[in-house]
Amino acid sequence: MLESAPPSARSEGSWGMASYAEQVGERLRNVRVQKGLSLHDVELQSDGEFKASVLGAYERGERSISVNRLQRLAMFYGVRVDGLLPRIGPQPTGSAAWAMTLPDEGLCIDLQALALRREPEARALEQFVTILQMQRGDYGGKMLTIRREDVRVLAAVLDRSPEELLARLSELGLRRRAG
């Protein structure tokens, strides 16, 4: 099986690193290889849910993976969703600040305001919220709290930093104070 080029040979982002999509792809590939699976094995064992060509595009960072697909792939591999995200070392100055902008309980989303938005970030957030509501059995609230770790996952899927995502959600009027 032919694997893609090492990170040093790939296109580089603004800080001389592979893009976040490429980093996610590397993590997807690492988990698959650790499970002893080829791309073709995944396609066969998932009954075609994960096509080898599409999974390969995710792994090369050529295609972004949705929150739903990331969750389904995590279930297929038997790992947590954050297990499919890259391990991130020391951050550039100020990047830890996003965590300071969230209370310990996480991010509170106004579900009524979310239902009225049509922007791509809002649509992705709505899909993510639907998954959380199903997992929690919580369908009737006007607000939903998302954990810090979930904000990181959502930011990764949208190819943004957590602080960029939080700023955008504020712009869209979707963030609320808990309580």
Q: pLDDT, tens digit, for every residue of 16-67?
A: 346 778 888 888 888 888 888 999 999 999 999 999 999 999 999 899 888 8
To the question of pTM greater than 0.75 for the whole model, the response is: no
Instruction: Please write the tens of the pLDDT for every residue from 66-108.
Output: 888 999 998 898 888 877 877 665 544 444 444 445 555 567 8
Residue 22 maps to which CATH number? 1.10.260.40
Final residue of a structural domain among 84, 106, 127: 84
Specify if 92 maps to a domain. no
- For the segment 110-119, the average pLDDT, to the nearest whole number, is 89
Predicted local distance difference test score (pLDDT) of residue 10? 40
User: Minimal CA–CA distance to 59: which of 44, 39, 43, 74?
Assistant: 39
Domains in the chain, number: 2
User: Minimal CA–CA distance to 77: which of 99, 100, 110, 55?
Assistant: 55
CB of 96 closer than 8 Å to CB of 167:
no
Instruction: Please write the tens of the pLDDT for every residue from 117-143.
Output: 998 888 888 888 888 877 777 766 788
